[in-house]
Amino acid sequence: MNYEISLITTMAIAVMFALSLNLITGFCGQISLGHATFQGIGAYAAAMLGKAGWPFLATLPVSLVLAGLLGVIVGLASLRVRADFLAITTMGVGFLFVGIVRQQDSLGGELGISSIPDHGLGNVGFMALALLMCASVAALSVYIKRSWMGRVFNGIAEDEDTMRVLGIDVPRYKLAAFALGTALAGMSGAFYTYHLTFIGADSFGFVESITVLSMVVFGGIGSVPGVIIAAALLSVLPAWFQVIGDYKLLVYGGLLFVMMRFSPGGMAGLAARLFPTSSLPNGGKP
Amino acid sequence: MLAIELVAQGLIQGSIYALVALGLTLVYGLLRILHVAHAALFTLGGYIGVLVCNASGSLALSFLIAALVAGFGGVAMFRLAYQPLLSKPPYVALIASIGLFIASEEAFRIIFGAQGMSFTNPALQQQFVLGWGLQFKLAEILVMVSTASIIGVLAWLQARTRIGIACQATVSDPQMAQSFGISLLKVRDINFFVGSALAGFAGVWVALLNNLVEPTMGSVPSYKALAIIVLGGLSSVPGTLAAALLLGVIEAFGTIYLGDILDRNAIAFAFLIAVLMVRPQGLFARS
Amino acid sequence: MNLSTSDAPLLQVNGVTVRFGGLTAVDDVSFDVHQGDLLGLIGPNGAGKTTMMRAIIGVVQPTMGSVLLGGQSLNGLPIHKRIQRGMSLSQQLVKPLRDISIQENVALAAASDKTISPLRALLNVSTERELAIAQTELARVGIASMASQSPGIQPLGVLKRLELARALALKPRLLLLDEPLAGLNSQEARALATTIAEINLQGLTIVLIEHNLGEVMRICQRLVVLDNGKKIGDGDPREVMADPAVRAAYLGGDALGASAAQGQETLEMQGA
Amino acid sequence: MTVAAALALTTLPAWAQLKVGFNVPLTGFAAADGKSALEGAKLAVAQANAKGGVAGQKIELVVYDDQATPKEAVPSATKMVEKDKVVVAVSGSYSGSTRAAASIFQRGKIPYVVAYAIHPDITLAGDYMFRVSAMGEVQGRGGAKLVQNLGKKNVVIVTLKNDFGQALTAGFKDAAPKLGLNIVNEYEYVITDRQFGPLVSKIKYDNPDIIYASGYFFTAGPLVSQLRAAGVTAPIIGQEGYDSDKFIEIAGPASEGTYITTSLDRDSTAPATVAFLADYRKATNLGADMVAASSFTATSVAIEGLRKTGGKGGAALRDAIASGIYDMPIGKLEFNDLHEVKKDIQVQIVKDKAFRRHSVISDPVLLAPPTKAK
């Protein structure tokens, strides 16, 4: 059973992480190529605190707040540049994070941090907690989408200028999306740390940022069910892909390309097209 | 003089950056796509260069074929991948491009092997002693010279020939250009061809400088070139050139004097972020 | 019919100058708008009308001079702050959000008190009140029957009215209309102009940029004329249009009202 | 699915019964080393099966690609323990993924024999962990000793910025003062670097007697060739990361005279080494490198343990592996109480486009692996 438990925990963490990016990219339309940085902040915070004797549950809120704080700072900085540049600045923040962590002996440097203490919840308990938090993030996402915040996000994603003319304080909303999304990424990072019991700077690099963005886009940008399914699938895909061994990443990259080329709305868009009656609001933007 | 040598080394690296980033700038200027898969054409150029040179013994031929193959590869990418996505939000093309890049890197690994390939008889390895303790490989000198001349020729073509002017017009106002009878498709094809050929050309240079081509050789250029076109102010050819050379020099000094604070990639992006905070439109953009 | 003119004008434009590089788009323009006015801001292509409007709403900041609303300076305020103070703008290019209905588009504007901060927006879910306001505004502009339809498939006439309803739903003290009639045929233009006049009669102060001089003359109580960035006329429509300087400006540019129905200001837009 | 996975990746029949797990980077940045490692492990299994397997059962190598990342290694290791029920596992991967997998095998009480991952934490994960290669620090100390043996004093250190490079440098710097060496300057580079122009220029100005540069063949090849092209003539010491014919191919004539500290002596007359080198060439048509030899060794150690227990795993197998003395291509091995090996360091030098024996560093004090006490 441990294998299944481990896989489900992996999935839950990936879904949490992908949903956190979905708030920023899917709901608010801001492309981030450095989202793994915020998972990294949370992961390192949890690792350092855990090694200092904090219990796992106490590290969660700290990871959340720290990552969210950094998210606001990055968000403030990003607001200065034009929308086209945002993807690149967030990518730059990612490289800076990895570069700095690698150089800090107090953060384990190149060697990373291992022997992270046990979470003390048992494998099943840990999985249950990860699932619970994952469900909470999903519920929060659905709630946000239904609230006025979600409506404004949706408007910003489609047309910032019009939202400005409607009296919306666009920068503040973008900051709010950044703060929420990065804080939740930080929380997923704490789970990541305690799940893998080993973290290194490269675990939160550019490749991971791209991977999580792929999950969001693959599922259907902005679609909560789509992103959940995509993140759950793609996070364990490498394990299934063992069958095709050598061709794993080729297929992965190819899938990403084919999906964008033929169904840019992701799986949600595909579902909306295949079953036109089922309504997937906003998920299947043409 | 260490400083002079570091500047020279920075310019060598910067020349390579410039060749790769120029293609990206052309594509961005024309289509507003962040064309990550561009770096796959750079890798393709490197492999073709090594294969052709090892088979034929002619370096000139290998440059020519590498540039041609990469050029046509670029046009094919545009026609098959990007053209149908032009009306979609920009992230669609970006992700498609990332997917294409990952798949290409893997295809190179599966076809040519993970170990990479080398020239059996690497050319241009002769050494030039320039005095003051300066000493360079012939290839290092030629990469700077050829970059400068190619970019010079391109600038001339762009300013003086009909098709060059058409390209510029298309960048600044596609609709207007179209109404003057310029074929958008043709201009886009040409831009992709030229940009990709430059990347292929750069690939052969890097193969020569390192005597190694690997499946992953495009991964650093793929993101570094993005940083460069942003620094250069997006879609400005002179800006891109200046940003590429500047970044090369900054990295050269940075790796020596900041090496124990930040690594090379982090230095490049720290510089990028610092610049954007002061000049949000990029270093060389007209605001 | 007008509410009696109060002491302070609702909008004061004082010596506003806007320069882009070497180009002076608006050159030392001053005028007042009083409570209840329906003021037409006109001028030939490239006269600086749209730039003037953008300086009022805050898309561009004036190089010199100031804009006051209800006696308070708006200088340096971003767009959304100006809108929160009681202005709203109906744009020339109608850009509805395409994946929500017409009614929901208007409701988004009607929710301005709920969307004033992200936190408040997060804590508010109910849409009943906003949808009701939206329905009222849609009725006011005459497209109530299309409320539940998608804006993506509507003709321009409906979209223009949607844009107007969205601006009205912000409950402004001052409504700015940027070429509301552009692109409409004469019948549609006449109908929409009548709607605008009715809204003004209900007590809302309106500033209108328009090329369709026929309709402008029919509904506006006052005109401000710009040419080459300078104000060349201000006052009663008939008197202003009789002014030789104004006639010269128009004849030098477009024939009176000839191309007005099309009303393209592309050059001016690009200058901005 | 597991059977299918095994079929896809090994040439062994499906009726095999004794499963040996093997995690290895077959895709991603470490794929080149992963390929060598897999060939080495497959050779060990093929030889064992040719001799009739263990206790009448064939051995099946269950291969998982971990991309050298912890994220992929954790599910792979869990699957090996839970689903495949491997009796023993071998790491043919880098430190990051091996560290992540180690605690899982330890918890599952499955002996885990590590081929060439050098991080100290691995054997600290518990008593089911074994390592057949020298830890990075130990190799680094061996490098310093070599500098002394060569009669040089002023060293420039070039460090590859990853766990491998930093462990080597740490060991080197630890031993350097004791051996009277003077470290003139120190530089770092990242694994994606291939252009070392600025670094080379600076080293030229440092004018060292000798250069201690960590790296893999794909970074070291360009580095060595660029150093020579710029006119730097000081000898260069590399380590087992250089240990590939690819290094000589990339650096070309510039590679001549480069020293490496490694665990494979290609001029060895020891029968185990001679046989391995020949068999490997026959099986793959390639020259063996350190990664292949170490993976072969680790797999063979695991199989020999199985032979002693008659195919039984768990504590019996752990004790059997721990108590053995092994005659392997990389030397005679014996595990200490921390399950690290104590062995001599082979120094090879590039001569006429091939690695040749230069010397052997044997210093029981300086090269002592860590023990439980430490």
Looking at the structure, tell me whether residues C198 and C153 fall in a common domain: no
Residue C272 has pLDDT above 70, yes or no: no
SS3 C230: strand
Q: Residue C84's closest chain A neighbor by CA?
A: A167
Strands (E) across chain B are located at 127-131, 134-137
Looking at the structure, tell me whether residues C26 and C127 fall in a common domain: no
Tell me phi and psi for residue C154, to 5 degrees: -90, 150
Bridge-based pairing state of the strands D210-213 and D236-238: parallel
Q: CB–CB of B175/C266 below 8 Å?
A: no
Looking at the structure, tell me whether residues C256 and C122 fall in a common domain: no
Averaged pLDDT, B34-59: 92
Q: Residue D81's closest chain A neighbor by CA?
A: A3
Interface test with A, best of B77, B100, B264, B269 (most A CBs within 10 A): B269
**Cα gap B140→B16, rounded to integer Å:** 10
Closest-CA distance of chain B to residue A39, Å: 18
SS3 D17: coil
Tell me phi and psi for residue D348, to 5 degrees: -115, 155
**Cα gap B37→B24, rounded to integer Å:** 10
Would you state the structure tokens that stand for residue D35, as one six-digit string?
């390929």
Would you state the structure tokens that stand for residue B120, as one six-digit string?
């059996």
Closest-CA distance of chain B to residue D229, Å: 6
SS3 C26: strand
Over residues A89-125, the pLDDT tens digits come to 888 899 999 989 988 888 887 778 877 888 888 889 9
Write the single-letter amino acid at D174.
Answer: D
Is A102 close to D161, i.e. CB distance below 8 A? yes
The subunits that touch chain D, with at least 3 C-beta pairs less than 8 Å apart, are A, B
Q: Does the residue C113 lie in any domain? A: yes
Looking at the structure, tell me whether residues C161 and C208 fall in a common domain: no
Q: Does the residue C119 lie in any domain? A: yes
Tell me phi and psi for residue C239, to 5 degrees: -65, -45
Would you state the structure tokens that stand for residue D242, as one six-digit string?
């250089």
Looking at the structure, tell me whether residues C30 and C142 fall in a common domain: no
Those residues with Cβ within 8 angstroms of residue D348's Cβ, 6 or more apart along the chain or in another chain: D243, D259, D260, D262, D264, D265, D266, D355, D356, D357, D358
pLDDT band with cut points at 50, 70 and 90 for residue B133: low
Averaged pLDDT, B10-38: 87
How many helices (DSSP H) and strands (DSSP E) are in chain C? 11, 10
C and D touching (3 or more beta-carbon pairs closer than 8 Å): no
Q: CB–CB of A233/A81 below 8 Å?
A: no
Over residues A10-62, the pLDDT tens digits come to 999 999 999 999 999 999 988 888 999 999 999 999 999 999 999 999 999 99
CA-CA-CA-CA torsion sign (B164, B170, B176, B181): positive
Closest-CA distance of chain D to residue A243, Å: 5
- List CB contacts (< 8 A) between A246 and chain D: 26-27
Model ipTM over 0.90: no
Nearest residue to D90 via CA among D58, D43, D53:
D43
Looking at the structure, tell me whether residues C52 and C36 fall in a common domain: yes
* Alpha-helical segments (H) within B113-161: 138-160
Q: How far apart are the first and last CA of chain A?
A: 42
Q: CB–CB of D262/D118 below 8 Å?
A: no
Residue C3 has pLDDT above 50, yes or no: no
Residue A249 has pLDDT above 80, yes or no: no
Would you state the structure tokens that stand for residue D271, as one six-digit string?
């029968």
pLDDT at A242: 60
- Domain boundaries, given as residue ranges, for chain A: 2-203
Q: Which domains does chain D have, with CATH numbers?
A: 2-134+269-334 (3.40.50.2300), 136-262+345-361 (3.40.50.2300)
Closest-CA distance of chain A to residue D73, Å: 9
Q: What is the CATH number of domain A2-203?
A: 1.10.3470.10
Taking the CB of residue B76, how many other CB atoms lie within 10 A of it? 12
Classify residue C7 by burial, with Cβ atoms within 10 Å: 0-12, 13-18, 19+.
exposed
* Higher-confidence position of A284 and C117: C117
In chain A, the largest separation of any two C-alpha atoms, in whole Å, equals 57
Q: Does the residue C91 lie in any domain? A: no
A and D touching (3 or more beta-carbon pairs closer than 8 Å): yes
**Cα gap C230→C234, rounded to integer Å:** 11
> Which residue from D5, D100, D103 is facing A242, i.e. has the nearest CB?
D5
Looking at the structure, tell me whether residues C101 and C181 fall in a common domain: no
Is D190 close to B118, i.e. CB distance below 8 A? no
CB pairs under 8 A between A and B: 133
Tell me phi and psi for residue B131, to 5 degrees: 85, 175
**Cα gap C127→C109, rounded to integer Å:** 12
**Cα gap B25→B195, rounded to integer Å:** 8
pLDDT at A277: 53
Q: Does the residue C6 lie in any domain? A: yes
Looking at the structure, tell me whether residues C180 and C232 fall in a common domain: yes
Closest-CA distance of chain D to residue A198, Å: 6
**Cα gap A11→A57, rounded to integer Å:** 20
pLDDT in single tens digits along all 374 residues of chain D: 344 444 444 444 445 488 999 999 988 778 888 999 999 999 999 999 998 888 888 999 999 988 888 878 888 898 899 888 999 999 999 888 898 899 889 989 999 999 999 888 889 889 999 999 888 888 899 999 999 999 999 999 999 988 888 889 999 999 999 999 999 999 989 888 898 988 998 898 899 999 999 999 899 999 999 998 888 899 999 998 898 888 999 998 899 999 999 888 888 888 889 999 999 999 988 888 889 999 999 999 999 999 999 888 889 999 999 998 998 888 888 898 889 988 888 899 999 998 999 988 888 778 888 787 65
Closest-CA distance of chain A to residue B45, Å: 20
pLDDT at C256: 45
Q: Does the residue C92 lie in any domain? A: no
Averaged pLDDT of chain C: 83
Residue C261 has pLDDT above 60, yes or no: no
Residue A284 has pLDDT above 90, yes or no: no
CA distances from D175 to A76, D181, D281 (A): 48, 9, 37
Would you state the structure tokens that stand for residue A264, as one six-digit string?
């840019």
Nearest residue to A112 via CA among D299, D120, C158:
D120
**Cα gap B186→B202, rounded to integer Å:** 24
Chain A contact for C267, CB < 8 A? no
Over residues C183-197, the pLDDT tens digits come to 888 888 999 999 999
Write the single-letter amino acid at A51.
Answer: K
**Cα gap A109→A114, rounded to integer Å:** 12
Looking at the structure, tell me whether residues C19 and C69 fall in a common domain: yes
pLDDT at C249: 78
Structural domain ending residue among the three candidates C154, C171, C188: C171
* Higher-confidence position of A12 and A250: A12
Q: Residue C126's closest chain A neighbor by CA?
A: A147
* Higher-confidence position of D292 and B172: D292
Q: Does the residue C116 lie in any domain? A: yes
Nearest residue to B87 via CA among A186, C261, D197, A264:
A264
pLDDT band with cut points at 50, 70 and 90 for residue A276: low
Structural domain ending residue among the three candidates C171, C203, C231: C171
pLDDT at C46: 77
Interface test with D, best of A102, A199, A242, A252 (most D CBs within 10 A): A242
Structural domain ending residue among the three candidates C127, C156, C171: C171
> Which residue from A3, A112, A200 is facing D83, i.e. has the nearest CB?
A3
- List CB contacts (< 8 A) between A146 and chain C: 125
Taking the CB of residue B146, how many other CB atoms lie within 10 A of it? 16
Q: Residue D219's closest chain B neighbor by CA?
A: B210
Chain A contact for B92, CB < 8 A? yes
pTM listed for this prediction = 0.85
> Which residue from A98, A249, A257 is facing B96, i.e. has the nearest CB?
A257
Using beta carbons and an 8 Å cutoff, which residues of A are at the interface with C?
143-144, 146-149, 151-152, 154-155, 158-159, 161-162, 164-170, 172-173, 175-176, 281-282, 285
Tally of structural domains, chain C: 2
Is A196 close to D78, i.e. CB distance below 8 A? no
pLDDT at A126: 93
> Which residue from A3, A111, A244 is facing D119, i.e. has the nearest CB?
A111
CATH number at residue C29: 3.40.50.300
Would you state the structure tokens that stand for residue D103, as one six-digit string?
């605690």
Chain centre distance of CA B75 = 16
Percentage of the residues of chain A whose pLDDT score is greater than 70 = 91
Classify residue B281 by burial, with Cβ atoms within 10 Å: 0-12, 13-18, 19+.
middle
Using beta carbons and an 8 Å cutoff, which residues of D are at the interface with A?
1, 4-5, 8-9, 26-28, 63-65, 67, 69-72, 74-76, 78-79, 81-83, 95-96, 99-100, 103, 119, 121, 124-125, 161-163, 165-167
Would you state the structure tokens that stand for residue D260, as one six-digit string?
């490496």
Looking at the structure, tell me whether residues C179 and C263 fall in a common domain: yes
CA distances from A199 to A109, C94, D26 (A): 11, 51, 21
Is D99 close to A10, i.e. CB distance below 8 A? no
Q: Residue D162's closest chain A neighbor by CA?
A: A110
Averaged pLDDT, B149-166: 81
Looking at the structure, tell me whether residues C146 and C16 fall in a common domain: no
- List CB contacts (< 8 A) between A213 and chain B: 95, 98
Chain B contact for A206, CB < 8 A? yes
Determine which of A19-33, B24-38, C31-45 has the lowest per-residue pLDDT on average. Answer: B24-38
Looking at the structure, tell me whether residues C55 and C130 fall in a common domain: no
pLDDT band with cut points at 50, 70 and 90 for residue A239: low
Binding-face residues of C in 93-152 toward A, CB within 8 A:
95-100, 104, 108-109, 111-112, 114-125
Q: Does the residue C105 lie in any domain? A: yes
Would you state the structure tokens that stand for residue C216, as one six-digit string?
């402008």
In terms of residue numbers, what domain contains C263?
1-86+172-272
pLDDT at C264: 37
- List CB contacts (< 8 A) between D222 and chain B: 209-212
Residue D325 pairs in a beta bridge with D334
Checking A135-143 for CB contacts under 8 A at 24+ apart, the result is A137/A15, A137/A16, A137/A19, A137/A20, A137/A184, A138/A15, A138/A19, A138/A224, A138/A228, A141/A19, A141/A22, A141/A23, A141/A27, A141/A224, A142/A224, A143/C125
Q: CB–CB of B35/B78 below 8 Å?
A: no
* Higher-confidence position of A169 and A269: A169
> Which residue from A88, A261, A264 is facing B230, i.e. has the nearest CB?
A88
